[in-house]
Chain A
Amino acid sequence: GEDVEQSLFLSVREGDSSVINCTYTDSSSTYLYWYKQEPGAGLQLLTYIFSNMDMKQDQRLTVLLNKKDKHLSLRIADTQTGDSAIYFCAGGNTPLVFGKGTRLSVIA
C-alpha cells in the first residue's frame, strides 16, 4: 500500500518562502493532496495536483511533482504568521494515506 513520508517540523521567518517536502511510494495515485490543519480545527484541503502534472500554482502556493523520484513539494511564498499550521501530504487511491504532518512555525 501507499506510504507517505514528510519531515515533522519547519521554522521560517515571516516574509520568507517555506518549502515542505513529501515522498510517496504508490505511483498509481491519481491525485496528490496538501491539507492544512490550524490549531483546534479539522483538516482543510489546501491544494491538489493531478498526477500527470509537474507543477501547479495557486496564488502564494506552488506545488511541484517529481514522478520519477516520487517527490511532492509545497512552496508558500511570502509566508505569514497565519500560515502557521500543520501541513499534511496525502496520496494513494481511496482511501487516502496521510503523512505524519509538518508543523510550520512562522517567526515574526
Chain B
Amino acid sequence: DADVTQTPRNRITKTGKRIMLECSQTKGHDRMYWYRQDPGLGLRLIYYSFDVKDINKGEISDGYSVSRQAQAKFSLSLESAIPNQTALYFCATSDFRGTGTGELFFGEGSRLTVL
C-alpha cells in the first residue's frame, strides 16, 4: 500500500461545483503539503501544514482552502471550481525531526478537470 494516498485519482467536474481532494499518510510525518502541477510551470505550492494546528498559504492559495483533520490527513477544497484550476494536484509529506533530510514523499496525484 502507498504511504501517501490521494483520493480521488481522477475527477471531472463542472464550473461552480465544490470539490474536495483528500490525502492520507501512514508515514507518521508531521508536515504535509499540497502542490499543483501544470505543464511548463512545474510544481507550485498551494498550502502547507507543519502540524495539526498550523496552516500556511503557499504561492497560489487563492481559490483554495485546506483542512488538517488529523496528523495523517490533509484535504484540499475548491469552493467553486473554475476551468483554470484544471491541473494535476499532489499531496506530499516530510519529517524534519531527527536526522531527516527534509525530502518530500509524494502521493500519486489527483487529476482534476473543470469543464
Give me the interface of A with B, judged by CB distance under 8 Å. 8, 30-31, 33, 35, 41-45, 48, 88, 90, 93-101
Q: Which one of A44, A88, A94 lies within 8 Å of B43 (CB-CB)?
A: A88
Please report the C-alpha to C-alpha distance between residue A35 and residue B104 in the assembled complex, in whole angstroms.
10
Stretch at the interface among B11-19, B70-78, B79-87, B94-102: B94-102
Q: Does B114 contact A (CB under 8 A)?
A: no
Contacts of A101 in B (CB 8 A): 42-43
Contacts of B33 in A (CB 8 A): 95
Contacts of B42 in A (CB 8 A): 88, 98-101
Contacts of B90 in A (CB 8 A): 42-43
**Which of B42, B50, B105 has its CB near the most chain A CB atoms (within 10 A)?**
B42
Contacts of A41 in B (CB 8 A): 108-109
Q: Does B52 contact A (CB under 8 A)?
A: no
Contacts of A94 in B (CB 8 A): 31, 50, 94, 96, 102
